[in-house]
Amino acid sequence: MKTRKLTTLGLSVALALILSYVESLLPPLMAVPGVKVGLPNVVILFLLYRCGWKEAGCVSLIRLVLSAALFTGFVAFFYGLAGAVLSLLGSALLKKSGRFSPLGVSAAGGVLHNLGQIALAALILDSGYVFAYLPVLLLSGTVAGALVGLLAGILIRRTDVR
């Protein structure tokens, strides 16, 4: 791995972790538990566009592990992982299609992230009742994903990390 790329990925992990911490300090945006903007995903989406899905996935995984160890605990890690995997796969496919802007890719990624988390909750709790929470999560995932996509889109357009 080239030094520049390794440095970029290391700084990306650090920035994503800092954004996780900042987000943990923010008061809830809604009266609904668990709804967050997903600030670290600005870094992940940026990497998806500038480096590729493997690099974005590695940084996301490292950030999840470190964030769980430092801020959230490992129950949250598994929910974050379920959401991150589904979100990254869907986002990578939409990006590859060439039909979606970073905003569209990220909005879909936000929804997929929430779907991954709710599916894991349904499996763990062995109950479909958690899907009643889905309309709120679909709306919040779309809005948060669009905000993340807007921010990441600005960064993508204004930088060249290759």
Kindly report, residue by residue over 131-155, the tens digit of the pLDDT.
988 898 899 899 999 999 999 999 9
Give the model's confidence band at 26: pLDDT under 50 very low, under 70 low, under 90 confident, else very high: confident
CATH number of 3-158: 1.10.1760.20
pLDDT digits (tens, 9 = 90+) for 55-68: 999 999 999 999 99
DSSP string, 2-55: -HHHHHHHHHHHHHHHHHHHHHHHSPPSSSSTT----THHHHHHHHHHHT-HHH
- Can you give the pLDDT at residue 48? 96
Instruction: Kindly state the average pLDDT of the residues 73-93.
Output: 93
pLDDT surpassing 70 at residue 162: no
Give the model's confidence band at 47: pLDDT under 50 very low, under 70 low, under 90 confident, else very high: very high
Alpha carbon 6 to chain centroid, angstroms:
21
Name residue, tokens 């679909």: 138
Residue 133 CA to residue 74 CA, distance in Å, equals 22
- Can you give the pLDDT at residue 29? 65
3-state secondary structure (DSSP) of residue 128: coil
- Can you give the pLDDT at residue 1? 67
- Average pLDDT of the chain is 90
- Can you give the pLDDT at residue 31? 63
